[in-house]
Every structure is written in C-alpha cells, then in structure tokens.
Amino acid sequence: MKTFDELFSELQERARTRPEGSATVAALDAGVHAQGKKVIEEAGEVWLAAEHESDEALAEEISQLLYRLQVIMLARGLNPEDVYRYL
C-alpha cells in the first residue's frame, strides 16, 4: 500500500536511476504525446468501470489513471505541490 506522494517519490527515483525494465522509464522515453494518450485511455477505463464494473475494478482503474498523471507530471517537471495548490 502506498500514497500518491510515496508513488511520486518512487517514480522520481526511477527517472533518476533509470533501472532496466522500469515501466516508468519506458513511459517517460515514449514522450508527452504517448503519455497523454495513456491518460485519456485510463480516464476512459475509469468512466466505463464506474458505469459497469465492481468497486474493486474501479479502484484499480483509478490507480492506473493516477499513475499516468504522475508520469505526465514527471515528464513536465511538476511536483505534487504544484498541483495541490489548486485543490
């Protein structure tokens, strides 16, 4: 179990150390266009899960959307604080 901030710190470390086999390194290397498409794809899956699937399936889709948002944040050099100040 990890929080949004803990996942973000983990992804920052992946971006810094670039370990072999990291999904995050691959996602960052794919560029902002591919990263944006993943956000849209996961957002659509959240919508569909909310209408048609279980709470557990919905929670999993939301976790993937949060991950994809964090990839975009990392790619653009944003920190969670940059986002939180608008909440």
Ligand X SMILES: N=c1c2ncn([C@@H]3O[C@H](COP(=O)(O)OP(=O)(O)OP(=O)(O)O)[C@@H](O)[C@H]3O)c2ncn1[C@@H]1O[C@H](COP(=O)(O)O)[C@@H](O)[C@H]1O
- Give the residues lining the site for ligand X (CB under 6 A): 10-11, 14, 22-24, 64, 67
- Kindly give, in sequence order, each residue whose CB lies less than 8 Å from that of residue 37, ignoring residues fewer than 6 positions away: none
Shortest reach from residue 15's CB to ligand X, in Å: 9
CB of 14 to ligand X, least distance (A): 4
- The residue among 22 and 43 lying less far from ligand X, judged by its C-beta, is 22
**CB nearer ligand X, residue 16 or residue 85:** 16
**35: Cα separation from own chain's centroid:** 9
Query: Which residue, 49 or 67, has its beta carbon nearer to ligand X?
Result: 67
